Structure 1
């Protein structure tokens, strides 16, 4: 089989580890890292399963990287600056760097399956207003700024907080 082709219909979702956003207790998802598996370096591309009632990440906005979601199966709700919009199969949601805070929740009774992709800039700044933090992502370091001070994390520490027990 060629490394450039991933037969997603053959994915063993039970073998993929569940994860969450480290600052959102309502977050839970399984991700198949399609771009990484094919050797892509500039575009982060994941196939994501979001269980009923769960959220993807914490509501956030980007200063540098654009991203998108394309819904394949299920029913969900995307929040855009606090306004709820129902989404379903065939819906494309683009997130430019316009400061709009966004998040996704599964509102259906089955998994919400979607393709998510975004840029991989050397530095990214993400605002997370619900927890009053700004994160600066750069190679080998994540710096969290908030009213409670500054916290430095490695990608491994971020990842450890993202794993579900």
Structure 2
């Protein structure tokens, strides 16, 4: 059976790579992110189809100053870490992350099964990302790329 035109596009969408410097990049082993928004040429918001192997994390715990994010679990049971709280999500459940709250979030696959979810976010200019548990800060540049620094401003 041949894949449908839509599933063929999903398979063809490029895999995203982490922008984190080492040692943080190594922590994302087991995460596979397909950048569907970029593949379809979307400019105002991003859509990622993300898979987490058992033990994998979505990202470092982080909060955005301007970008809002939304996730929809398609498969598996990831643990949503939201500030000091944790919640196990089920397929069909979703969560939205409002910008500017300072509440850090991440998904962790603590199960023995794969997790798949959609991740959607807008692309506002001048976003900054705080990582409360790590010596890392991300600042979006005018060209849309990210500058990654230590919290004291030193470059990686």
**TM bucket normalised to smaller:** 0.7 to 0.9
Q: Per the alignment, in what secondary structure is the counterpart of residue 108 of structure 1?
A: coil
Return 5+ residue gaps in structure 1 as ranges. 153-165
Q: Which residue of 1 aligns with 2:147?
A: 142
Q: Per the alignment, in what secondary structure is the counterpart of residue 107 of structure 1?
A: coil
Q: Which residue of 1 aligns with 2:35?
A: 33
By how many angstroms is 1:33 displaced?
Answer: 1.4
Task: Report Cα offsets for 1:100-154 as digits up to 9, x if no partner.
Answer: 100111122221000001011121100011113322111245142413x4216xx
- The correspondence of residues 13-162 of structure 1 with structure 2, limited to 5 A, is 17=15, 19-20=17-18, 22=20, 23=24, 25-28=26-29, 29-97=31-99, 98-138=101-141, 139=143, 140-147=145-152, 149-151=153-155
Maintained 8 Å contact 2:14/2:35: no
RMSD: 2.6
Distance 2:8 2:87 in 1: 29
CA distance 1:136–1:75, change in 2 (3 Å): same
Distance 2:87 2:64 in 1: 20
Return 5+ residue gaps in structure 2 as ranges. none
Instruction: Give TM-score scaled by structure 2 length.
Output: 0.81
By how many angstroms is 1:69 displaced?
Answer: 0.8
Q: Which residue of 2 aligns with 1:163?
A: none
CA distance 1:141–1:11, change in 2 (3 Å): closer
More strand by share: 1
Instruction: Give TM-score scaled by structure 1 length.
Output: 0.77
CA distance 1:74–1:141, change in 2 (3 Å): closer
Distance 2:40 2:16 in 1: 21
Maintained 8 Å contact 2:61/2:131: yes
Maintained 8 Å contact 1:125/1:135: yes
